[in-house]
Structure formats: structure tokens, C-alpha cells
Amino acid sequence: MHITQQQEQFSRAYIHTIASVAGFTIYTPLVDDDSVDLGIAQRGGRGTIRSPRLEMQLKCTYSHKLVSSLPHFNYPLKRKNYDDLRIPNLMIPRILVVVRVPEDITYWLRHHSEQRQSLRYGGYWLSLRGMPETNQNTITVSLPRSQQFTVDALQGIMLCLSQGGLP
């Protein structure tokens, strides 16, 4: 399997892990022609919006080292993905999730003991809703390091959606 296919599979597994622990279901569009790789759905809920959904474009990278003094990291995004993610009037909100992994694939998943395994490194999310139009072929987006895609973060996003907010 080519490394980019392994990255794609790993990023999907990462999202599945987070969504499973958070208590949400995953759905996959039959065709990725709208920059949506996966969707997350909540059944019911207690908010004013019942059964909220969130869709995402997934990326996986090992080429972006974090600079400890910077509160963000940059990721180059193809214009089509950028344009599809920045649309302001979507029925189902979309986010970009970039999963960072070590350059050496043998470090992506570590087996420590019978009771502990770890995925390395982690995901970060960004909403591009309402971002400006551009004519560049590649747009560099800045992902805040404070927006890690975790169980708590996903639950917070889904709660926000159930209350009529946006990520």
C-alpha cells in the first residue's frame, strides 16, 4: 500500500476512534466529490436542533513539524477543497481535520503493554466557513494548536450544533 493510502486509512481510523468514544456514529458519502470524507451524526439530543451532523475533509501529514513557540501550524490545501469548505450556507457544517503523524510509520501506533496502546500524534480542526475567495491553486491555512480534535472537542462541537451554533 502506498504511504498516502496508509495516511488516509490512519486519519479515518483516528476519527472513528474519537467519534466512537464520544458516542457518535460515522457515515461515509459514497463519492467524495464535495470535499467530504466522513460525516458524524448524533442521534436525538437535548438541544433545539435534534440529531445534529458534522462533515469533514480529512488530511494526514508528517511533513509539518510544530514550532513550540507558534500557536498554530500551516497546511497547504488545494483550492477545490478550500472552496468546498468555505461555503457559508451549507445545511451540514464542514470542518477540515488534519491528522499529524511521525515521519516513520512504525511510530504511528505504539503498543506499550496489554493495557495500553497509543496513536501518535493527533488531529487538529478548523472551520473555513466564510473565508475569502482566492484565485491561488494552493491556499495555506493556519490551524490553531488549541483546536485539537479530541473526544471533548468533538462533543463540544456537536453540543454547539445542537444549540443552533456553528463550529
Give me the pLDDT at residue 64, please.
61
Task: Check whether the bond before 121 is cis (ω within 30° of 0).
Answer: yes
Give me the pLDDT at residue 84, please.
98
Phi/psi-derived region of residue 44, left when phi > 0, alpha when psi is between -120 and 50, beta in every other case: left
Tell me which residue of 114, 93, 102, 27 sits closest to 61, measured CA to CA: 102
User: pLDDT digit string (tens) for 17-49?
Assistant: 999 999 999 999 998 889 999 999 999 878 899
Tell me which residue of 23, 19, 20 sits closest to 45, measured CA to CA: 23
% residues pLDDT > 90 (the chain)? 87
Please give the Cα distance from 128 to 134 (Å, whole number): 13
Architecture of domain 3-162: 3-Layer(aba) Sandwich (3.40)
Please give the Cα distance from 56 to 7 (Å, whole number): 16
Does position 100 have pLDDT exceeding 70, yes or no?
Answer: yes
Q: Parallel, antiparallel, or unpaired for β 94-100 and 53-61?
A: parallel
Confidence of residue 10 (pLDDT cuts 50, 70, 90): very high
User: pLDDT digit string (tens) for 55-93?
Assistant: 999 999 986 677 778 899 999 999 999 999 999 999 999
